[in-house]
A and B are shown apart, each in its own frame.
Chain A
Amino acid sequence: MAGYNKKAEPAHAKAESHSHAEHLREKHLMLDPLPRGQMNSMVMESMYETSWKFWVVFAILSVIVAYGLFYSWGVMIAEGLGVAGVNRPSYWGIFLVNTVFWIGISHAGTFISAILRVFKAEFRRPFTRAAELMTTFGLVQAGFSVFMHMGRVWLAYWLMPYANQRMLWPNLHSPLTWDLLAITTYLLSSTMYLFLPLIPDLAMARDRSTGWRKTFYKTLALGFRGTEGEWAHLRNAMNIFAFAIIPVMFSVHTIVSWDFAAATRPGWNSSIFGPYFVIGALHSGMGAVIMVLAVVRGTMKHMKYFIRAEHFDGIAKLMLIISMAWAYFFFNDYMVQWYGGDKWTHQLLHFHEAGPMGWMWFAMLIFNIAVPWAVLWNQKWRSTPWIVFIVGFFINVGMWFERYIIIPISLSINRMPFTWRLYEPGIEIPLGIGTLAFFILLYMGASKLIPLIPVWEVEEGQMAHELKQFGRETVVSVSELE
């Protein structure tokens, strides 16, 4: 996108500092400002211009969703869970693996748009929305997966906190009830948090669209004009959201971990499961964000201007740290379980490593630890989209394996050896692929309907950044605008 770069360095500047400043400009989106109008039209074009390849992928995914998700689910509802692979003792299988997986994916959006916003990590600006969208769509898939898991899904509304026809309220002792409350809270609040910063961009899109899109943006922009009052309310609300959604995010995956940790089962009854799951969620979530950004950058028009090597570098550094944290929690959990000396736990740990699914246990460690550690220490590699895409893919496979080991494999071993039996997935496979396809489908649809780049946030950041001279060194400096 060289055409968009501004080259306006005065000729008398020293050649060396000139090239350094130029290099910094090329590297940092925030130092490479474009007129707002131009950025607006770039974002609009990225939504409008769709190649035939998009529609081919869209059609294929639609077929997969129709068969894998809706038809297969219909079959399972009609036939019962017998068509799935769940059995005694693995009463929980891939459905809950996928639920945990998708909730994990959803944590990345909040991590990026809330934690990085609170700590004013400036590199977040162009992709907060791309990450937040993953949160909402990931939670939709988590919802699908957990409903699939239920034996009588048509009665799922019985879990809502209301008095049913027998005047019975849900059981607040159950971790699953907390889960329902926490995931509902998280889904609602992350959707609202996606929507609030979107309003100004929808207003922008409304001002430069026609036809059905005009109606669409006009309706969603709610009549936003950008008055001082509107901005003040929005700023206040986003501030409250950024702080308040962080504990909600932590609580969601902690409660998900309590579904396991609160149970009387060897291997599950671990007090470190809460933070271990939260870190695991961030691990897979960041891997997924970097995959999505690599695809968005590679396939959507003008995205090479907004999403640059610095962003992959920034996320990849977080991935490396999170991978180390995951390894720490994994080892901590393993060490204490091993040291405890409980015979059932020993059986289980042995089964993890040396059982028929031992390959999965080793693959988990390689994908979650060895792969990111081997690659992400190198700045050049971690700034390269296709390399971090592959690392992100491995991490996601590794984290899926981790949940598979925790749920159906750990359930195979219990205190009643007579019931020990391995789990073999059945209709879970098309259903799982269906949720994945549906996630991608929703994301593709959204990328054509809502501005994927928060243009006003990028402009605000570009206003705040400048190059500053310290002696002979030119450095990037940021002003705090709020």
Chain B
Amino acid sequence: MSSTEQGTSSAAPAEPTTAPESAAAPEVPESFYYVHGKDKVVHKVSAGALQHSALIHGMISNLGYTEEQAKANPFPFENIDGDILQMVVDWCNQHKGKPTPPEDTNLPKQKEKLFDLVLAVNYLEIKELLTYCCKQVAMMVKGKSPEEIREIWMIPTDAEDEAAEKEAKKRAGKEAAGETAAAAGDAK
């Protein structure tokens, strides 16, 4: 054995196998924010759960609220029904800090609420939940005929579209005539 090898092995200090307990980082208390919908009912939601919403996450980052300020100033979402916001909050809580599975069984089952839920989720920019809701909408027409799809997705027939277009044109014509008459009256 060479002298270099001997020197290296004897000089190597023993490395500690575990960190001393006193060096463990203290747990940071979770911060909470508050949101309310059209019904003014305030929901307390953790920052971790709200990370799912790009909109709220952006607001939190920009405002830099303290816990007290957040409590005093709940984020108002007047365009979202209270029960829909409750569904969204529940979903965010259930999926806090974990990725959404491809088939999410925790999604609210009420089909009649799906449209409002989609609008809310799109507004709040919750990408995973939006994708899952859209999957449900796409699944609705699996194996269905054009007539059935028309009913499920509420697609007007060509005749209904034409009638609506005529009606819209008529209305626009009337409005334009009204404006012209009003302008003529003003000029007098």
| Real binding pair | no
Where the two chains meet, the residues of A that have a C-beta atom closer than 8 Å to any C-beta of B are none
**B residues adjacent to A (C-beta < 8 A):** none
